[in-house]
Amino acid sequence: MKVVLITGTNSGFGLLTVLEFLKKGYRVIATMRDVKNKDELVEKVENSGFIDRLDILQLDVTKKEEIQSVKNELIKRYGKIDILINNAGYSQGGFVSDLTVEQWQNQFNVNVHGVLRVTKTMLPLLREAGKAHIVNISSVSGSLGFPGLSPYCASKFAIEGFSESLRLELLKENIYVSLVQPASYQTKIWEKGLASIQWKQLEEDELKQAVLSYAAESAKSKADPLEVARLITKICEKKRPGFRYPVGKGAKLLSLAKRCLPWRLLEKIIISRLLSGKNK
């Protein structure tokens, strides 16, 4: 039976991806920063009837000792993993002028260094599988920077570059690295990101008002996050999976626009859309 390790599984894409892999017959190791938050996941898995193939382990991706502890447990139980899904992460909202250096450091510690820590630690177990997959959850924000989300965008840009290098390094070992780039979906990431914003002098700044309005609308997205979970499992069942997989409303168009349009035109479109949205 193939074994998949998924980070950040107490909600959102991570929780749904656990359910999709279980439905397809995998042994799933679901990890989360605090296992006290496992109730929703456990309830859904029990209702689906796959609880016997689920392990839930505590894993804060910023803590080396917890990552090593998970690795030791996997060695003891299974001796390998076939798939690693680096899903854990969060969105730090706010403008550069209003954010502290510590907020930037925290964003990178989770979204970038966390992915690096987990991947590097688990590589020996992936090699034991003979053929393996790594899926890193990026974002459309890893293709184009948006105002008011600079730490999050920068962290996802970093994941894009890291994943490009890693893919080329591991291909010869039959380990395939892929990126999933979701657009806006109904998950808690936007809600949490907005909650941390300190919008100083918001009433005096038209752009900040526009960005906050746009982010609030994105948080209400009606897109079903199950689409992302199903894409992740589909990628892992391919013999030779591709590298980048944009998914969701406007994701492919945005990627194309970044590659093809002059930057001056692109920035005018972005600012115009933000300001027009605020005035609706």
- Checking phi first, is residue 179 left (phi over 0); if not, alpha (psi -120 to 50) or beta? beta
Query: Annotated catalytic, 152?
Result: yes
Phi, psi of 143 (to 5 degrees): -105, -30
Q: Which residue has the tokens 């492919």?
A: 252
Distance in Å from the first CA to the final CA of the chain: 53
Buried b / exposed e along 65-77 (16+ C-beta atoms within 10 A): ebbeebbeebeee
H runs (alpha helix) in the chain = 12-23, 39-48, 64-77, 101-111, 113-127, 150-170, 189-195, 206-219, 226-236, 251-260, 263-278
The single residue of 152, 176, 185, 245 carrying the catalytic annotation is 152
Q: Which residues are catalytic?
A: 152
